[in-house]
Amino acid sequence: MNQSLLTSLSRIVGSRWVRHRRAELATYAMDGLPTHESLPGAVVMPESPGQVRQIVRLLHLVQVPFVARGAGTGLSGGALADRETVLIALTRMNRILSVDPVQRRAVLQPGVVNARLSEAVQPMGLYYAPDPSSQTACTVGGNVAENAGGPHCLKYGVTTNHIVALEVVLPDGSITRLGSRQGEPWGPDLVGLFVGSEGMFGIATEITVRLERIPDSVRTMLADFMTVRAASEAVSAIIAAGIVPAALEMMDQACVAAVEASIYAAGYPTDAAAVLLVELDGQGEAVEAEATTVREILCSRGARQVQSASTAADRARLWQGRKKAFGAMGRIAPDLAVQDAVVPRSALPDIMDQIESIRRTHGLAISNVFHAGDGNLHPNISFDRRDPAVTKRVRLACREIMAACVAAGGSITGEHGVGNDKLDYMPWIFDAESLGAMRAVRRAFDPTELANPGKVVPVHACREWCAVKSLRS
């Protein structure tokens, strides 16, 4: 990265907050996905919206691309930058600016850690509902970029359902405000459009979120099944009964085995083919009534045993295995490729069979922990990336799993985003016209395509590109 740009960046944030030496940059070479690696040209760490604005203005002036980054916990390679690109790390912008407990709104900076927000508003009887597994580290700004989900999104919705307004620095350095505290847009729903745009429409510097009230009563149930199919059918039966649990999570045998062999052991039955966690919340009497119905459904669908917990300590024990599943898998191999795909709920049993078949074909260790209620799968492949042959098989297996999910009528990502990891799969679910429309929408925010270039939309698959190719041929 050229010295004069580094000097200019240092003038904005102070030299302490500009990193450019190779050893310093190594921290930012990956996100949570170990299959992609790239060193940025420089890292700059602003502490205010004003500094973000100045940085982006400067980069726009000299036409240098940039990538915004939160905690780097993403799982799609979305927050990686190359040597020609400046990485803007937003972790210093970590203040909760205001909380309105009556109207259940909070205004915060993008670097606020997801779980910290819930901790801060907990004394007011409130919490922030989207709860990605990385919530103790990931930032709300990153959640906005990826439209992050989590176990409790079945009932309460994903990030987009909880963001009502944004202050945004556009890629030309100008600032604009989108949405309103009330949630009613001023004009077209640009907040809805911005959330999940993976940092390609600009940088959110102030985020207004909707908070939820901590429910009066919570009941967590753990059921184990001898087949994944029986567990999946129980999921569908619960939903068909008109019950929308706060969470409806499944873990397969491989995942349970990993958890139970770790320090996070939660007493899950290791001989079960699948374990189902069901959480109900709401007003006490209503929760009890629904819990009775759910227990009946679970038993009628073949659950061997149903454990139930209503105290915080007992519920935490039942959740422990699920929450720490990714950590437990870390014991199996040095690296973990956490995948993310969605299928229609009815396709769950068949897709699980196919994943098992793919696992056998490639001789890999795959464990599944997923949001069964909304068909959002997380097949996780444990491997050692120092072995190129294994890494190649991991890539192949990921590709085959994605293809199977798409063939089942699903999507290539439910909550992790496309980033650069799934760029090649986008033409599987969107035609050239639709990809072209996405690119045009991106250019409405960022005409010179400086923000997070090369992600999400494979330009070579867009309509305009196809037209150029056909002209040349």
Partner 1 sequence: MSDTIYTRLRALLGTTGVERDSDGTPRATPDTADALTLVCRLAHEEGWKIRVEGRGTWLPSDAPADLAVSTRALEQIVSVSPADLVATVQAGASVEMLRRRLADSGMWLAVDPPGRADRSIGSVVATATAGPLRQGFGPIRDHVLGCTVATGDGRLVNAGGRVAKNVAGYDLTKLQVGGFGGFGIIVEVHLRLRALPRADVTLLARGTRDALTLAGRELIAAHLLPAALELLSPALAAEADWVLAARFVGTEGAVQADVRRLASVGEVTWIPLPPERTAAFWSVAARGTLGGPITLRLGVLGDGVDETIDLLAHDLDEGLVSAGAGQGMIRWTGDALIERIRALRRAAAAREIPVTLERAPWRVRRALGHFGAYREGVGQIVGRLRDSFDPGQCLNVALEGAE
Binding positions for partner 1, 325-354, rule CB under 8 A: 342-346
Other beta carbons within 10 Å of 182:
12
Residue 162 or 324: the one with the smaller Cβ distance to partner 1 is 162
Residue 244 or 365: the one with the smaller Cβ distance to partner 1 is 244
**Distance between CA atoms of residues 335 and 417, nearest Å:** 20
Q: Tell whether residue 153 is a contact of partner 1 (CB under 8 A).
A: yes
* Nearest distance from C-beta of residue 281 to partner 1, angstroms: 10
The site map against partner 1 for 83-122 (x = CB under 8 A) is -------------------xx-------------------
**Distance between CA atoms of residues 27 and 22, nearest Å:** 9
Using alpha carbons, select from 381, 354, 376 the residue that is nearest to residue 366.
381
**Distance between CA atoms of residues 48 and 264, nearest Å:** 39
**Distance between CA atoms of residues 318 and 407, nearest Å:** 34
- Choose which of 15, 98, 122, 182 interacts with partner 1 (CB under 8 A): 182
Binding residue count for partner 1, defined by CB under 8 A: 94
44 close to 17: Cβ distance less than 8 angstroms: yes
- Choose which of 417, 420, 452, 462 interacts with partner 1 (CB under 8 A): 417
> Which burial class, exposed, middle or buried, applies to 177 when counting CB atoms under 10 A from its CB (0-12, 13-18, 19+)?
middle
Residue whose entry in the numeric block shows the structure tokens 């050893």:
23
The site map against partner 1 for 254-293 (x = CB under 8 A) is ----------------------------xxxxx-xxx-xx
Residue 249 or 374: the one with the smaller Cβ distance to partner 1 is 374
The tokens of 333 are what? 């191999």
**Distance between CA atoms of residues 144 and 163, nearest Å:** 8
Q: Tell whether residue 433 is a contact of partner 1 (CB under 8 A).
A: yes
97 close to 109: Cβ distance less than 8 angstroms: yes
The site map against partner 1 for 360-379 (x = CB under 8 A) is -----------x--xxx---
Residue 4 or 470: the one with the smaller Cβ distance to partner 1 is 470
* Nearest distance from C-beta of residue 151 to partner 1, angstroms: 12
SS3 label, residue 321: helix
- Choose which of 117, 178, 332, 364 interacts with partner 1 (CB under 8 A): 178
- Choose which of 244, 299, 365, 396 interacts with partner 1 (CB under 8 A): 244
**Distance between CA atoms of residues 206 and 169, nearest Å:** 10
**Distance between CA atoms of residues 439 and 446, nearest Å:** 10
Q: Tell whether residue 192 is a contact of partner 1 (CB under 8 A).
A: yes
Residue 125 or 327: the one with the smaller Cβ distance to partner 1 is 125
- Choose which of 122, 176, 300, 311 interacts with partner 1 (CB under 8 A): 176
- Choose which of 139, 220, 382, 413 interacts with partner 1 (CB under 8 A): 413
- Choose which of 26, 62, 97, 241 interacts with partner 1 (CB under 8 A): 241
- Piece of 13-21, 145-153, 356-364, 384-392 that binds partner 1 (CB under 8 A): 145-153
* Nearest distance from C-beta of residue 163 to partner 1, angstroms: 11
Q: Tell whether residue 180 is a contact of partner 1 (CB under 8 A).
A: yes
- Crossing angle of the two packed helices 348-362 and 388-407, in degrees rounded to 10: 160
Tell me the pairing of strands 42-44 and 86-89. Answer: parallel
Give how far the C-alpha of residue 157 lies from the chain's centroid of Cα atoms, to the nearest Å: 13
What string of DSSP letters covers 242-261? Answer: T---SEEEEEEHHHHHHHHT
Kindly tell me the sign of the dihedral angle through the C-alpha atoms of 266, 268, 274, 275. negative
- Piece of 62-70, 240-248, 322-330, 386-394 that binds partner 1 (CB under 8 A): 240-248
Determine the longest span between alpha carbons in the chain, in angstroms.
70
* Nearest distance from C-beta of residue 439 to partner 1, angstroms: 9
Residue 318 or 343: the one with the smaller Cβ distance to partner 1 is 343
- Applying the rule CB under 8 A, the residues between 205 and 224 that interact with partner 1 are 213, 215-216
Kindly tell me the sign of the dihedral angle through the C-alpha atoms of 397, 398, 402, 403. negative
Q: Tell whether residue 147 is a contact of partner 1 (CB under 8 A).
A: yes
Q: Tell whether residue 40 is a contact of partner 1 (CB under 8 A).
A: no
Q: What are phi and psi of 175, to 5 degrees?
A: -110, 140
- Choose which of 221, 430, 454, 461 interacts with partner 1 (CB under 8 A): 430
- Choose which of 13, 75, 422, 462 interacts with partner 1 (CB under 8 A): 422
Residue 20 or 378: the one with the smaller Cβ distance to partner 1 is 378
3-state helix, strand, coil in the chain (%, to 5): 40, 20, 40
